[in-house]
Structure 1
Amino acid sequence: MDNHSNSSEITFHHEFDREAGRKEVVKVTVILSVITLIELALGFWLISLEGDFFRLLVKGVICVLMLAKAFYIVAYFMHLKHEIRAMIMTIVVPLLLFIWFIVAFLYDGNSYKNLKNTYDPYHYEQSQIKVEKTEHAPAHGAEEHKDAKKEGTME
């Protein structure tokens, strides 16, 4: 009787070709390097770029390139490209939820800041008091300067 036929474990024998593995690593390294150089060039160009639309467009392109780099890093260096689909989804879906949490918290924080300034009844009043104080207040040290000049103690 054959012992292997009753085994519940499924194993696969993979042939490992060192040359193919080496070529794949070199290819991925070159792709990541090129994407990084493009990101850097766009970042330096962004400094001198005028216009809000073009700045946002370049920032969006940089974000897309960053996501492409993240895909290559996860797929090749975390060895997920060669895994079964269920294993990939087990890792990627929680990661996407984490990214969604970050975006949601940033949006909520910005919304809270804007609503706080809008609905705070003392916000407008306090800002008007600060404006009035700065308009009517003498320059810093002006009173002491006048008093010293009257007394003749100033040189």
Structure 2
Amino acid sequence: MEQHSTTAVYHHEEHGHAGGGTKEVIRITVYLTVITLVELAIGFYMYKAALPEGFFRHFLKGLICALMLWKAFYIVAYFMHLKHEIRNLIMTIVVPLFLFVWFIIAFLADGNSYKNLRNKYDPYHIEQNDKKAPVEHEHGAQKEGTIE
């Protein structure tokens, strides 16, 4: 009989913990939904307003990127359960993530630099950029011109 009551108490504690976790998951899901709707509203505004290149357009793009990073933090913290983990485990995931982002930025900057230098110093490449690509027609014959 004693074993049965212990099992009942343990079972009750499990459900009590799950109830609090469910409220937290719903709260975070609503929070992420609101952030997503704000991102979509900004994106639709940028699309409909046809904003010219400038500070305001870049500011809105940066704001969308910041909101995406904020959402990524919440997803990792709550749905991947890192918020309640010990610090060393969190660091083994976060530090390589920052290095990965840094690598992407570095490779994009290096590729852009290479492209700019190639355009500046390689006359053959500039000549090739000015040529139009041959267009294939239905019968397989190639004709130089624009794509229709």
TM-score (norm 1): 0.68
Could you list the structure 1 runs, at least 4 aligned residues long, displaced by more than 2 angstroms after superposition: 121-124
Distance in 1 between residues matched to 2:33 and 2:69, nearest whole Å: 14
**Residues 85-127 of structure 1: per-residue CA shift (max 9 Å, x gap):** 1100001111111111111111110100000111114456x37
Structure 2 counterpart of 1:33: 33
The question of whether the paired residues in 2 share the 8 Å contact of 1:49 and 1:55 is answered with no
Which structure 1 residue ranges, 5 or more long, are not aligned?
1-14, 131-139, 141-155
Q: What is the CA-CA distance between 1:68 and the residue it aligns to?
A: 0.4
Query: Any residues of structure 2 matched to 1:110-121 within 5 Å, and which?
Result: 110-121=112-123
Which structure 2 residue ranges, 5 or more long, are not aligned?
1-12, 132-142, 144-148
Distance in 2 between residues matched to 1:115 and 1:44, nearest whole Å: 36
Query: Any residues of structure 2 matched to 1:5-154 within 5 Å, and which?
Result: 17-47=17-47, 48-51=49-52, 52-123=54-125, 126=127
Larger radius of gyration: 1
Distance in 1 between residues matched to 2:43 and 2:51, nearest whole Å: 13
The question of whether the paired residues in 2 share the 8 Å contact of 1:35 and 1:69 is answered with yes
Report the aligned-residue RMSD.
2.0
Distance in 1 between residues matched to 2:125 and 2:43, nearest whole Å: 38
Q: Which amino acid aligns with 2:115?
A: K
TM-score (norm 2): 0.71
Count of matched residue pairs: 115
Distance in 1 between residues matched to 2:69 and 2:27, nearest whole Å: 18
